[in-house]
């Protein structure tokens, strides 16, 4: 059987038009967020009470909000919040999930039983309502949001990593590592975990989309990122309050959230399809 290489992956990924479209969206979002100080036409916090709820125009392509702030500038800076929350929250979830999944899959027996029953208990609670309950006892801030989303989103990654470890722990390269005296820590993190990174990468990519959507929902409810820090969710809140007279405050951030989440989902699906051994020829 022909060995699967990086060039094979990129060839198959490039032939998946939806995956390429998703990667274009994600890369574009990164570029916009990094260039925010230079491409933002206005300071996102500038208040101009003479330009309150102005519809889209040449001066303000996406209109202004209830305080006269430029919506385009706030959305550009809000993309930084979305990416920061998505990647930090997923990073926390990946670390927790990978460690617990590795321990459960490698050692098995009572460790596996304890970890997986804990996963089952956590999955019994609806994640969004669990986040709401935790945030209710904490001060709403971007760091609390990222931590709470991360520590409530590791269960799926734990299951994936555990399944990979169960299938890999008796493979020849693991047996060879044991024969040369490698300890458990080295076997887990040097020999087995890198072989499970494909599943983790796919789960993390899809998880970023979920984290961005959760942050937007929390900000929309007023318990996420707090004004005047711009985020797509709190722009939507202003849109809800002025839905009858300022349609642009709901339409444009809503489209940004939709396109971003769709882009990450398409990218994750494309990576999964490109790495799936059942589809290799």
1 lies in some domain: no
244 lies in some domain: yes
Long-range contacts of 222-229 (CB under 8 A, 24+ apart): 222/140, 223/132, 223/135, 223/136, 223/140, 224/135, 224/140, 224/145, 225/81, 225/85, 225/140, 225/141, 225/142, 225/145, 226/140, 226/141, 228/44, 228/45, 229/81, 229/142
pLDDT mean over 11-29: 90
What does the block give as tokens for 225? Answer: 């990122």
35 lies in some domain: no
CATH of the domain at 202: 1.10.3720.10
Q: Which domain holds residue 106?
A: 41-265
Per the prediction, the chain carries an average pLDDT of: 86
For the chain, how many structural domains are there in total?
1
Q: Looking at residue 1, what is its pLDDT? A: 41
- The sign one gets for the Cα dihedral 117, 97, 274, 169 is negative
Q: Looking at residue 118, what is its pLDDT? A: 92
29 lies in some domain: no
What does the block give as tokens for 177? Answer: 């590592």
Cα 31 to chain centroid, rounded: 17
73 lies in some domain: yes
113 lies in some domain: yes
Taking the chain, what is the end-to-end CA distance rounded to the nearest angstrom? 9
257 lies in some domain: yes
Among 72-86, 89-103, 188-202, the range scoring the smallest mean pLDDT is: 188-202
Among 81-90, 128-137, 256-265, the range scoring the smallest mean pLDDT is: 128-137
pLDDT, one tens digit per residue, over 24-44 is: 999 999 999 999 999 999 999
Per 3-state DSSP, what percentage of the chain is helix, strand, and coil (rounded to 5)? 75, 0, 25
Q: Does 279 have pLDDT greater than 70? A: no
178 lies in some domain: yes
More confident residue, 243 or 264: 264
Partners of 64 in the β-ladder: 70
pLDDT, one tens digit per residue, over 179-211 is: 887 788 888 888 888 888 888 888 898 899 888
Radius of gyration of the chain from Cα atoms? 22
């Amino acid at each position: 059987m022909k060995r699967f290489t990086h060039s094979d992956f990129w060839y198959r990924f490039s032939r998946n038009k939806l995956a390429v479209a998703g990667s274009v969206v994600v890369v574009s979002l990164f570029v916009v967020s990094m260039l925010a100080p230079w491409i933002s036409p206005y300071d996102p916090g500038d208040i101009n009470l003479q330009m309150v709820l102005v519809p889209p125009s040449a001066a303000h392509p996406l209109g202004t909000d209830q305080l006269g702030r430029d919506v385009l500038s706030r959305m550009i800076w809000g993309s930084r919040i979305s990416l920061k929350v998505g990647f930090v929250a997923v990073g926390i979830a990946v670390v927790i999930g990978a460690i617990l999944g590795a321990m459960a899959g490698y050692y098995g027996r009572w460790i596996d039983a304890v970890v997986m029953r804990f996963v089952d208990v956590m999955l019994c609670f609806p994640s969004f309502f669990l986040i709401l309950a935790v945030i209710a006892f904490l001060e709403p801030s971007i760091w609390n949001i990222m931590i709470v989303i991360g520590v409530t989103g590791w269960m799926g990654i734990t299951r994936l990593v555990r399944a990979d470890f169960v299938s890999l722990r008796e493979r020849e390269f693991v047996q060879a590592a044991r024969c040369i005296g490698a300890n458990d820590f080295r076997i887990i993190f040097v020999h087995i975990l890198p072989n499970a990174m494909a599943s983790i990468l796919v789960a993390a990519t899809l998880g970023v989309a979920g984290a961005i959507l959760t942050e937007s929902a929390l900000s929309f409810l007023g318990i996420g990122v707090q004004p005047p820090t711009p985020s797509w969710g709190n722009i939507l809140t202003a849109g809800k309050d002025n839905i009858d007279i300022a349609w642009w405050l709901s339409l444009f951030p809503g489209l940004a959230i939709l396109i971003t989440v769709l882009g990450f989902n398409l990218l994750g699906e494309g990576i999964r399809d490109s790495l799936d051994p059942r589809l290799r020829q």
